[in-house]
Amino acid sequence: MKSSKRKKVLGVNIDHVATLRQARRGTEPSVRQAALEAVRGGADGITIHLREDRRHIQDRDLEEIRRVLKVPLNLEMAFVPEMTAIALRARPEKICIVPERRRELTTEGGLDVLRKEKALKRALPRFVKAGIEVSLFIAPVPEQVRAAARTGAQAIEIHTGAYAHAQGRQRAYELSRIKTAARLAAALGLKVNAGHGLNYQNVLPLVRIPELEEFNIGHSIVSCAIFTGLKQAVRRMKKIIAV
């Protein structure tokens, strides 16, 4: 009998390579080179977040990476007209719609799909028609999962920040919420991804959740790369999720 076990996929977020570059507003380190090096290390895809304030990834990065990349590009984006137009023009293989606030250091929570459901239902067919897989970045809340399925999105990415920052019994509780949301999403026909705050230690319990297919990880890998090099840092993470 053919195994139903899903292959675990690693998407490497390289935003913080751009953060370092933007500290001097120069050209080093090269985001394009970082993307290619991550792929050499085993990344199954590359994730970048083109923020409205352009604090790290720039429009030119999207263009350059799109041109050279041989693995899927996942563009994280706010649900605003400017980003919709950019995504439809660049046509990455995937987009992940995330909430975005100007003052936040990083994405602080999941998208409120319930509140935006009607607007998402109107907008998402444009991406699907363009051949772009749409994921919604949401908290592991059943009502949000059901709403995501109703919008026509093909996937969700579960916000794992609460799990990553919790300890002891609270972490076990957050893990159970992720498991419940992942099972529900898969039952509704959604592809289930996970990301935010994941590192070399806390990712393993999530790898054991059968419904989770893709892990988008950036800060921890880039931090490790300072000491080991990016290719080796990606290889280390890929080895963990490929168990």
CB 242 within 8 A of CB 44: no
Residue appearing with tokens 């370092």: 20
**Which amino acids are annotated catalytic?**
49, 76, 196
> Which residue from 24, 76, 83 is spatially nearest to 196, judged by alpha carbons?
76
182 vs 100, 165, 209, CA distance in Å?
A: 23, 19, 8
CA distance 10 to 216: 6
Q: Which residues pair with 193 in a beta bridge?
A: 157, 214
Residue appearing with tokens 């990415």: 157
Q: Which residues contact 236 (CB under 8 A, 6 or more apart)?
A: 200, 224, 228
- Tokens at 171, concatenated: 């972490």
